[in-house]
Amino acid sequence: MDRIKKHWWKILSIVLMLYTLIVGMGTPLKPGILEVYPYNAQAGTQLRLKVKGYNSNYDQNETTAWLKIDSSYYIQSRFCASITYDVMTAVFDIPEYLPSKDSIVQVNLIVSNDEDKGSILPSAVFIKQNAIDSLKGLAPWSRSNTLEEVYTMEEFRFPYRNVIYETVRNTFYHVALWFAMFILLIISLVYNVGYLRSPSLELDTKAYAFTAVAILYGILGLITGSIWAKFAWGAFWTTDVKLNMTAVAMLIYFAYLVLRSSIPDLDRRAKLSAVYSIFAFFALIALVFIIPRMTDSLHPGNGGNPAFGGEDLDNTLRMVFYPSIIGFTLLGIWIASLKIRISNVADKLQSQE
Amino acid sequence: MDFKSILKKASFDFFFKAMQSVQSVIFFMNSYLAFPFRMNKMFLILLLLFSFESTVFAQANDADFLRSTGMIYCVIAVIAVVIIGLALYLMRLEKKINKLEKKYNNG
């Protein structure tokens, strides 16, 4: 029992990591629309749209589809016929005039049935109209801001997002790694400030161990992010401002390691590295949190947008994301504590000689 | 072709390519072992890691394959990198402990 009392947080970290792996990988995505064919249509003709769904059940349910313009005008499909459980044909009678002043209008596709509930594909079809008359175009299109028949699914499933699909799960393994890195760096910041207030080599050892694990997490975060970027954005490294700024911040922390190893005198090393890492921490905040918000960024929650939320982090993702952060942080504290104990033993052996 | 058969084919493809890469690693090792070259554990692990990554990204060219499985292999590669990275770091710590043990036993 004493063991459990002493090591409960290590057990908790393992349990949380297992929870992250099992629930994070085992929960299916909500149904979505992968792609449609054809992409182009002519106003005033009949459109037979072939729809390929993802995790959908078209064959066992009566499915309805809508074409929607500008999030307020829509027409309902004449009928939908399922081919397999994830492929169906939706037939639309497109009116001659569209409620728009453009000759080519992009239209969203909404598909709904009782089991899958609603799913949407933005800019699914481009409709061309020969003559433009937006007043005549109003009549055949129904007008509503929300489709009353369409609900979002309430089951515990992760949101389906176009372009990233299943990789939305990387939120638990890539994004959580960065959050854990920040928590570890804040712990080491506390030790560094503590060292400057009352210098003792013990505090310096602790600060160094936490920073080292944080740097490990940073490197892993860069590699995992690079893999995700290859799949989602098409290249291992892009000119995204957050990527480059994070790389700069990591270089600043590499310099911390070099600085430490280049000073043989223990007290001088401790004092210098404490001061340096406090500066490095605030440089990191400026580089990772402030600069990416000032320009455009591919990362969600950047480029002026105030928060990482909405569809990028909905409540189902949060159920796994927060435990994942805690799990990674506790694991990092565990590794750091091992590091601290090793260097304490090494110091003792050195002083005995 | 429905989703399940695509998945079956995909997993078979993946297994096949993984086996191929293991074979190529063995071939690589054989061709290098002839030289007076000391292969340590790290090198072997890096080699295996590299071969694993190449199998994962060999699939990246095949857009249809990725679409059919919703890019789940990206998530698997990310998890693999995290676990391997943590394991390598722990191995480094273990090396330090080994050094200390040696020091303690000798002194």
Kindly state whether A219 is in contact with chain B, defined as any CB-CB distance less than 8 angstroms.
Answer: yes
Partners of residue A173 in chain B, C-beta under 8 Å = 75, 78-79, 82
Mutation pick from A20, A165, A333 vs chain B, by most beta carbons of B within 10 Å, is: A165
Cβ-based burial of A46 (10 A; exposed 0-12, middle 13-18, buried ≥19): exposed
Q: What is the pLDDT of residue A286?
A: 92
Q: Has residue A275 got a pLDDT over 90?
A: yes
Mutation pick from A17, A121, A169 vs chain B, by most beta carbons of B within 10 Å, is: A169
Q: What is the pLDDT of residue B36?
A: 41
φ, ψ of residue A99 in degrees (nearest 5): -80, 60
Lowest mean pLDDT among A43-52, A110-119, A261-270, B5-14: B5-14
Spatial distance between the Cα atoms of B52 and B66, rounded to a whole number of angstroms: 17
Partners of residue A224 in chain B, C-beta under 8 Å = 78, 81-82
- What six digits make up the tokens of B42? 């790290």
- What angle do the packed helices B72-106 and A201-232 form, to 10 degrees? 150
What number is the average pLDDT over the span A333-340?
96
Q: Has residue B67 got a pLDDT over 50?
A: no
Say if the Cβ atoms of B57 and A169 lie within 8 Å: no
Say if the Cβ atoms of A29 and B70 lie within 8 Å: yes
Residue A268: CB partners within 8 Å, gap ≥ 6?
none
DSSP state for residue A169 in the 8-state scheme: G
Q: Has residue A177 got a pLDDT over 90?
A: yes
Q: Which helix (H) or strand (E) holds A237?
A: none
Q: What is the pLDDT of residue B63?
A: 47
Give which of B92, B84, B58, B91 is closest to A219, Cα–Cα.
Answer: B84
Partners of residue B69 in chain A, C-beta under 8 Å = 166
Lowest mean pLDDT among A150-159, A217-226, A283-292, A338-347: A150-159
Residue A94 near residue A43 (C-beta atoms within 8 A)? yes
Q: What is the pLDDT of residue A55?
A: 87
Q: pLDDT-based confidence at A86, cuts 50/70/90?
A: confident
The upper half-sphere exposure of residue A76, i.e. CA atoms within 13 Å in the direction of its Cβ, equals: 12
Q: Tell me which of B35 and A194 has the higher pLDDT.
A: A194
Spatial distance between the Cα atoms of B40 and A96, rounded to a whole number of angstroms: 73
Q: Has residue B18 got a pLDDT over 70?
A: no
Say if the Cβ atoms of A224 and B72 lie within 8 Å: no
pLDDT tens string A314-333: 888 999 999 999 999 999 99
Lowest mean pLDDT among A233-237, A314-318, B9-13, B74-78: B9-13
Q: Has residue A2 got a pLDDT over 60?
A: yes
Which DSSP string do the residues of A51-91 spell out, in sequence order? EEEES---TTS--EEEEEETTTEEEE-SEEEESSSSEEEEE
**Minimum distance, in Å, between the CA of residue B31 and any CA atom of chain A:** 30
Q: Quote the pTM value.
A: 0.80
The minimal CB distance from A165 to the residues B71, B79, B100 is found for B71
Q: Has residue A132 got a pLDDT over 70?
A: yes
Q: Which residues pair with A74 in a beta bridge?
A: A68, A142
**Minimum distance, in Å, between the CA of residue B61 and any CA atom of chain A:** 10
CA A281 to chain centre: 23
Q: Has residue A309 got a pLDDT over 70?
A: no
For chain A positions 5-24, those within 8 Å of chain B (CB to CB) are 21
Q: pLDDT-based confidence at B60, cuts 50/70/90?
A: very low
Q: Has residue A220 got a pLDDT over 80?
A: yes
Q: Has residue A304 got a pLDDT over 80?
A: no
Q: pLDDT-based confidence at B39, cuts 50/70/90?
A: low
Spatial distance between the Cα atoms of A170 and B82, rounded to a whole number of angstroms: 11
Partners of residue A219 in chain B, C-beta under 8 Å = 85
Q: What is the ipTM of this complex?
A: 0.88
Determine the Cα angle at A180 with ends A209 and B45, to 5°. Answer: 70
Lowest mean pLDDT among A195-199, B78-82, B101-105: B101-105
Task: Name the percent of chain A lying above pLDDT 70.
Answer: 95
